[in-house]
Amino acid sequence: MGKGRLEAFSDGVIAIIITIMVLELKVPHGSDLAALEPVLPVFLSYVVSFVYIAIYWNNHHHMLHLAKHVNAKVMWANMHLLFWLSMTPVVTGWVGEHPYAALPTALYGVVLFMAGLSYLLLQLAIIGSDGKDSPLAKAVGGDLKGKLSAVGYLVAIALAFVQHWISVALYVLLALIWFIPDRRISRVIARPHASS
């Protein structure tokens, strides 16, 4: 399995997700300010999802850069990640249309949690294929950030049924944390033999 073709395929799928998502913003049904009002929460939810998909593209890029071998397990772990990322537009649209409802807010978190989980599984699949002394294994270490954000999504899902604005705030906060590119991996790229 060529790493290049897996990267190209993933980039294609992520490019389609991020673009189509914004294109699904519907043309307003009037031509005045009142027609724009219901579009605002939809727009804001798309901005958050756009940042999330961009973060995944960026980190996916760095992770595959460090990967040495791509076997069938890695291929399917990658497909699993792409599946959950492709769920983002639907839940984004649902949250945007019902910005004050608990269930859409919770389901948005479920998709983020599953995407985060499948990213961790992909990481494990690559490390399992490349070995514990591989650059990726050294770069991610225990991956505290990845595990903590998974817990953060779980908390946000539960809180959606209590006070959903806290969930929304958590989603934005966890996006901001990942906004910063993974310095651990960048460090290893610069000095390939450094231990984490």
The contact set with its own copies (CB under 8 A) reads 1-2, 5, 7-9, 11-28, 31-33, 36, 47, 50, 54, 57-58, 61-62, 65, 72, 75-76, 79, 82-83, 86-87, 89-90, 93-94, 97-98, 101-104, 107, 179-181
Nearest distance, CB of residue 79 and its own copies, angstroms = 5
Q: How far is CA 77 from CA 32, 74, 172, in A?
A: 47, 5, 26
Do the beta carbons of residue 41 and residue 34 sit within 8 Å?
A: no
CA proximity to 95, closest of 84, 109, 85: 109
Nearest distance, CB of residue 147 and its own copies, angstroms = 23
Q: How far apart are CA 127 and CA 49, in angstroms?
A: 28
**SS3 state of residue 16:** helix
CA proximity to 15, closest of 82, 71, 81, 80: 82
Nearest distance, CB of residue 80 and its own copies, angstroms = 9
Closer to its own copies at the Cβ: 59 or 134?
A: 59
Q: How far apart are CA 88 and CA 109, in angstroms?
A: 10
Nearest distance, CB of residue 47 and its own copies, angstroms = 8
Closer to its own copies at the Cβ: 38 or 57?
A: 57
Closer to its own copies at the Cβ: 33 or 142?
A: 33
Closer to its own copies at the Cβ: 26 or 151?
A: 26
